[in-house]
Structure 1
Amino acid sequence: MALAPPRRAHYETAHSAGLVKQETGSSQQETARSFSFPMPPRPSADKSVAPQTAAQIATAIEDFVAQYGEAAILEDGKVLFDLRSAKYTLSTEHDRCTLHLWSEERNMVRRILSATPRNGSLRLSTQRFGQAQPKLLELVSSRERRTPTTREAARTRYLKTLERVLQREFPDWKPDAFRTAMDLERSFGPAYARGSLIRGNQAWAVIGVNEQETATTIDGILTLGILWLHHCREQAGGRRLYQGLKLILPRGTATLTLSRLAWLNEAAAQWRLYELDQNTEELTPRDAADQGNLRTRLVHHPDEKAASERFADAIEQVMQLVPAGEEQRVEQRLRSTAELAFLLHGMEFARARIGLAPNSFARTLEITAGVDETPLTSATCREIAARIAELFRRRRAFGSATDFARRGQRPSRRIGAASATAAHSRLQLRAERPAEEGNPAQDPLYRAAPERWLESVLRRDLAPLTRSLAPQPRVASLPRAEAFANDPDPDTRGNRADRPESVPPFAEAGNPHEPRVIPHLDPNHVYTQVPAIAGASDRGLLDLLGVTADGRLAVIELKADDDLQLALQGLDYWIRVRHHHLQTADATTGLGEFQRHGYFRGVELSPLPPRLYLVAPTLYIHPATETILRYLSPHVEWNLLALDERWRQEIRVIWRKQSGRS
C-alpha cells in the first residue's frame, strides 16, 4: 500500500552540505536509497498526541528541513546534530518512521512516534530500539535558537561592554573601530567583536566573543583572531606597529584556546588572552603556561589477530554476501572487543556482535545489516545480499578522463588491514530505484561521507603523501649515465609538486655516505579514528595516526570540505599526541605510553615531537589556511598537502607547503 503523497516516492534522504543545495525560494534534494529491511511494527508508546502515520511524520520532518537550511536536532537543549554538516535518512517501511542521523561526532537511530509543531520547532517523540520509554528530541530551525533580533541585540550590547571594559583596563590605550559587521571576503562573521587598541603609532588587534554564542563559535576565536591581526597589519601599511593580539573570551571557556595559544609563534606576535565576566565586567588575564592537566586519555588498542580468530565465522558469513571479486573492498573495523563492523569506503553495511546466551556462558553470534539492523537469517539472506550488491555497484571509484597507473592490491581479510577507517555511517539503500547511469558521480551513495572515503584510500596507500618530502642525497662523484641531475625522485614521477628546483644542492643534502632517511609514512602502522585523543569541544577523534620511517609520529588531519578550522583543529590533535608521546617510559619495559597501550608494536619511536600533516583536496583548502599556519610555532613541524580532485581514483599530491619554507 502506497503511503507516500503525490510527488514523494520515498523519504530516504541523504542530507548534507554536498547532497542538499539550498536555493532562493526552493530546495533541491538528492535522494539516497534505503538500505533497510522489514521489522515488525511496535505499538506507539506516545499517548499524548493524536496518532500519525509514518508518511505524515516523515512529511513533517522533510518539509521542516527543506524550509530551514540551518536546521538542527536538540536533546535537552543540547545540539546533537547540525544538519548543515550531519547526514540523515528517513524510512517509512511497514508504517514505521525510522530516523538515522550521523556526523563526525556521533551516530543515532530512533523510531519517530510523532512530530508536533511548537513555537517554530518540531517536537519529535522518539523511541530507541529495544526500549519502551519514549524520549523527546527537538528539530529547530537553527542551532542558534535566538531570533535574529535577539541575537543582534546581544552582540550590540556586548560590543559596548567590551569597549567600556577595555577603556577601563587599559587607560593608556584608545579603543578604535570596534565592529561586528560581516566581512565574507576575509571570513569574518558577526559573532566576533573586533577592533584595535591604539596608542600613538603602536596598536593591538583585539577580538572578543560573548557568552551567548555557541561553544563551537567560542572555540573558533583564535583562528579568526589570527586572521584579524594579519588584516590589521596589512591595512596599517607600516603607519602603525601592531604588537600582537588580545583575545577576550567568556569566563570559563578559555581551556581549548589556551592550549592552542602555547603553540603560536612568539616571534611573529605577542599573544594575550583574557576571560570576561559579562555580569561584573571583570577582566581576568590567563597565562598560556598555566593550562592545568590536559584532559585527554589513551585507550588500549585491541588485539586484531585475536579478534580475527574470534570473529572468523562472522567474517566468513558476511563475505559470502559480498559480490564475487569484491572482497578486497570490504573494510573490517572493531567497534569494541565484542563488535565488528563491515564497511565499504567508510560506509557501514553490516555488523557482527558476540554476546552470551541467557543463563549460560555460551557465546552467541549475531550479524545484522542496514540501519534497522535486520538480523541475517536464512529468510533475509537473499534480500540482504541483493542490496549489498547494489551498494557495491554504486559506491565505487569510477574511471576518469585521466588514466591513472593503478597499483595492484591483494585482498586482505585481516581486521584493520583493509582500506578504510571506522565510520559511524550506515547509509540506507532501496534497491528498487535504479542509480543514475548518466553521471555516476552524482549518485548520493557515491558522494556520501567523502572524508571517510578519503581515509579509506589513504589507509590503502599512504606513500603518495610523503614522497620526496625529504631531500634525496646525490653522490656527485658517481654520476649515472641513465639519470640526469635534475630528474625528480623516480618514486614521484607524475607528481607536479616535484620540480627540479625543489631538490636542494648537494651541500645541503648532507654527507652522501650517511644512511638515507626519508620520512615516508609506514603503511603497516596506521590507526584510524583514535578515540583517545579527546578534549576539544567539537570533536573527539583523530583522523589518522601513523609513524614515518625515521620513527617520528605523524598526526594526519583530513578534510574533504572547505574548513577554516583545519589548521588549528590539526594542532589540537598534535598537542594531545605529543602529550602522550612525552609521558615517562615504563621503567621495566622501556616502552612509551602509546606502545604500552598496544600501538606501534615493534617500532622504535623517535623521541622527537610528532609531525603534522594537513590533507585536503586542492579546491577545498581554505585560502586563509596558509596564513594561519605561518603563525604557528616553529616547534610545530607541519605539512600542507593539496590533493588532486580525483582522489577517489588515486591519491596524487598537486602541491604542498612545509613549515620553515616559503
Structure 2
Amino acid sequence: MMKRLTNRDEVEDAEHLIAEVLDSQAEWLYAENQTSAQVAVRRGEWEIKVWHERLLLSVWVDQGTRMWRVVAWEWTGEKLRLEAVRRLGHERAALELVPRASARVAVATVTDARRAACARLATLACALVPGAKVKRIGLSAGPRRNQPGRYARIMLRLGRTLTAVSGPVVDLEESQADAFVSSTLVWFQRISEKATDARKLKLWLVVTESLAEAVAERCALLRDSWRSVIEIYKIDEARQELLPVPINSLHELLAQAPRFHHPPRQATSELAARLGDLMPEAIDVVRAGHGETLRFRGLAFARVRRVACNERAWFGLDRGRRQQLDESSWPELLKLIDKLIEHRRAGASDNYHALYAAAPEAWLESLLRRSITDLDPGLIISPLHTQLRTSTKTGAGARPVDLVALRQDGRLVVIELKVSEDAAFPLQGADYWRRVETHRRHGNLARSRLFGEKKLAAEPPLVYLVAPLLRFHRAFQTLAQLVAPEIEMYRFDINEDCRERVRVMRRTRVNP
C-alpha cells in the first residue's frame, strides 16, 4: 500500500528508507509509467534528498536530469513504486524502479510463458495440415532488446508448400488489430522474398473470438493477390481447435448496413463561447457527449455541461482533479490559461514541458481545422466542429476519424494524422476509409449534411496520410502498397516544425 507523505517526519523517514532500498542494488531499471521504456540507472545516477520539507528524487537519463517531488511511495520487495509530481503539479507520474536482477527473472518468466503459448499454437496448426513439419517456431521481436515479442511466428512445410502462421500470445484489444496485422504482413513479406524454393506460400492468422472480426475486416482491405493467400482461424473456447473465419471481399464489406452516430448540431453554449473568447486564436469548442469540450491548441482543459437547465463548467488538465468554475475559481482558470499560453506554443523555451509535449496529434489537428488549405488548397472542413465518429457494428464503440474534408468537386477526403512512427498507419487509414465509404454508400453522410448544402460526389473518398517528413515508419511504403488500389491513398510529408504552421514538403500516391 502506498504511504503518503503528509508531514515533515514522514518525509524524513521516507528519505532514509528509500535511500536504503536504492543503495542495496548497484543497478535499477527506471520507468516513468507502465507504458514507457525502462532505462537502466546505476549507483551514482540517482539522488534522493529532502529540500524545504519536500522529498525530491533526481535521476540522470539520456535526456538529462529528471527531478520529481515524491508524494507517496511503496517498496513491494520486488519493485520501488513512487507517486511523483513535477512542474508545479502539472505533470504526474507513477515511477517504478525494479532491480536489474529481478527484471531479468521477470523477463525470463514472461518469455517462457509466451514460448509455451507459441508451441501450443504450432500444435493446433499442424493438426490442420496432416504431415506438415514445423520448420521454424519463435516469437516476434520485442519492444526492446532482450524482451519477448507479442506474436507467434511459426513456419510449416508440406512438400513445396510453406505456411506462415502468426497469432497473438498475449491478450489483445480489438483496437490492436491494426498493429497485429501490420506486423504480420511485414514478416510475411520478408518470408516471401527469401522463400525461393517454395512453390506455394500461405499465411494463417490465428486469433481469439473477440479479435476475429476486426482482423477479417483489415484483410478485406488488402489487394486481391494478398487476400487470396491469407486464411484466418479463431481458437475455440476450449483452446483445442482452430475454426475458419471467412474473409469478405471489399465489395461485401462495404455492403454491410452501418450504424451512424449523427454529429450534434446544437449551438455553442453561452458559457463555452465566453471561455473560447479568452483566446479565440488558440481555443476550440468541440461538441462531445452531453456537453462541450474546450481545447487549447488541441489540449482539453475545460468542459461545459447543462445541469438542471443551468450551464456548468469544470476546468483542469487532470480529469480526476478538475475544479468547478465559479467566481472564486475564475482566477485559477486564468492562471491555467496563462501557463498554456506560455508553454503550449510554437517556439516555447522548454520543449520537454508537459504542456508542450501533451497531445501532439491533437495540436496538429487543431492547426489544420483552422487552416486546412495549408494541406490542400481545394479542401473545406465540415462546418460542424466535431470529430466525425463512425461505427459499422451495432453496439460497437464509435471511433473518431481525425478529419473529414470535402474537395471542391464534392469528393470526400479522409485525413489521418501522425506525429510519431507507427507501422499501422496505412492500415488505420484504410480502415477509416472503409468506415466513411460505407456511410457514404448508404446515404448517411448526405442525410446528415456534414457540409451544409454542398453536394457529395458519387465517388469513394480519398485518404490523406499526413505526418512530419521524418516520422513515417520504415515499413510504411511496404504496407501501403498492400492496400487495395480502390482505396486511393496519398502520403503527405509535412515540415518537422509543424506546430506553428503546416507546410507540405511532398505529396505522393502510395498504392497505385
What is the CA deviation profile of residues 319-339 of structure 1, one whole-angstrom value per residue up to 9, with x for unaligned ones?
Answer: 3xx3xxx432221112245x2
- Distance across 1 between alignment mates of 2:69 and 2:391: 34
- Distance across 1 between alignment mates of 2:190 and 2:233: 21
With over 3 angstroms needed to count, the CA separation of the structure-2 counterparts of 1:162 and 1:373, relative to structure 1, is: closer
Amino acid paired to 2:350: P
Please show how residues 53-68 of structure 1 align to structure 2 within 5 Å. none
Indicate if the aligned counterparts of 2:285 and 2:294 stay in contact, CA closer than 8 A.
yes
Bigger RCO (CA 8 Å, 6+ sep):
1
CA shift, 1:457, in A, is 0.9
Indicate if the aligned counterparts of 2:382 and 2:404 stay in contact, CA closer than 8 A.
no
Give 1:492's aligned residue: none
Amino acid paired to 1:368: W
With over 3 angstroms needed to count, the CA separation of the structure-2 counterparts of 1:449 and 1:271, relative to structure 1, is: same
Indicate if the aligned counterparts of 1:330 and 1:344 stay in contact, CA closer than 8 A.
yes
Please show how residues 15-54 of structure 1 align to structure 2 within 5 Å. 22-25=38-41
- Distance across 2 between alignment mates of 1:340 and 1:566: 29
- Distance across 2 between alignment mates of 1:395 and 1:529: 22
1:581 aligned to 2:491?
no
Indicate if the aligned counterparts of 1:566 and 1:625 stay in contact, CA closer than 8 A.
yes
More strand by share: 2
Give 1:364's aligned residue: 310
What is the CA deviation profile of residues 112-147 of structure 1, one whole-angstrom value per residue up to 9, with x for unaligned ones?
Answer: xx98776868999xxxxxxxxxxxxx99999xxx95
Give 1:595's aligned residue: 446
Give 2:285's aligned residue: 332
With over 3 angstroms needed to count, the CA separation of the structure-2 counterparts of 1:300 and 1:349, relative to structure 1, is: same
Amino acid paired to 1:392: I
The partner residue of 1:353 within 282, 305, 308 is 305
With over 3 angstroms needed to count, the CA separation of the structure-2 counterparts of 1:244 and 1:266, relative to structure 1, is: farther
1:196 aligned to 2:158?
no
Indicate if the aligned counterparts of 2:136 and 2:156 stay in contact, CA closer than 8 A.
no
Give 1:166's aligned residue: 125
Indicate if the aligned counterparts of 1:298 and 1:597 stay in contact, CA closer than 8 A.
no
Give 2:229's aligned residue: 270
The SS at the match of 1:554 is strand
- Distance across 2 between alignment mates of 1:209 and 1:537: 22
CA shift, 1:24, in A, is 1.3
- Distance across 1 between alignment mates of 2:373 and 2:33: 31
Identity of aligned residues (%): 25
With over 3 angstroms needed to count, the CA separation of the structure-2 counterparts of 1:538 and 1:646, relative to structure 1, is: farther
Indicate if the aligned counterparts of 1:216 and 1:537 stay in contact, CA closer than 8 A.
no
- Distance across 2 between alignment mates of 1:537 and 1:234: 38
Amino acid paired to 1:302: P
Give 2:335's aligned residue: 386
TM-score for the superposition, normalised by structure 2 = 0.74
The partner residue of 1:522 within 339, 356, 380 is 380
CA shift, 1:446, in A, is 1.7
Amino acid paired to 1:286: V
The SS at the match of 2:262 is coil
Give 1:562's aligned residue: 421
The SS at the match of 2:288 is strand
- Distance across 2 between alignment mates of 1:140 and 1:286: 42
Please show how residues 192-231 of structure 1 align to structure 2 within 5 Å. 192-210=151-169, 212=171, 220-231=179-190
Amino acid paired to 2:412: L
Please show how residues 307-318 of structure 1 align to structure 2 within 5 Å. 307-308=267-268, 311-312=269-270, 314-316=272-274
- Distance across 1 between alignment mates of 2:324 and 2:97: 36
The SS at the match of 2:455 is coil
The SS at the match of 2:125 is helix
Indicate if the aligned counterparts of 2:346 and 2:499 stay in contact, CA closer than 8 A.
yes
Structure 1 unaligned spans of 5+: 9-14, 30-54, 67-89, 98-113, 125-137, 357-362, 399-436, 468-519, 584-591
TM-score for the superposition, normalised by structure 1 = 0.58
The partner residue of 1:629 within 480, 484, 495 is 480
CA shift, 1:259, in A, is 0.7
What is the CA deviation profile of residues 452-486 of structure 1, one whole-angstrom value per residue up to 9, with x for unaligned ones?
Answer: 1010011112223336xxxxxxxxxxxxxxxxxxx
- Distance across 2 between alignment mates of 1:646 and 1:355: 42
Amino acid paired to 2:478: T
Give 1:44's aligned residue: none
With over 3 angstroms needed to count, the CA separation of the structure-2 counterparts of 1:213 and 1:256, relative to structure 1, is: closer
With over 3 angstroms needed to count, the CA separation of the structure-2 counterparts of 1:571 and 1:5, relative to structure 1, is: farther
Structure 2 unaligned spans of 5+: 1-5, 16-31, 47-52, 60-67, 83-93, 99-104
Give 1:243's aligned residue: 201
With over 3 angstroms needed to count, the CA separation of the structure-2 counterparts of 1:263 and 1:368, relative to structure 1, is: closer
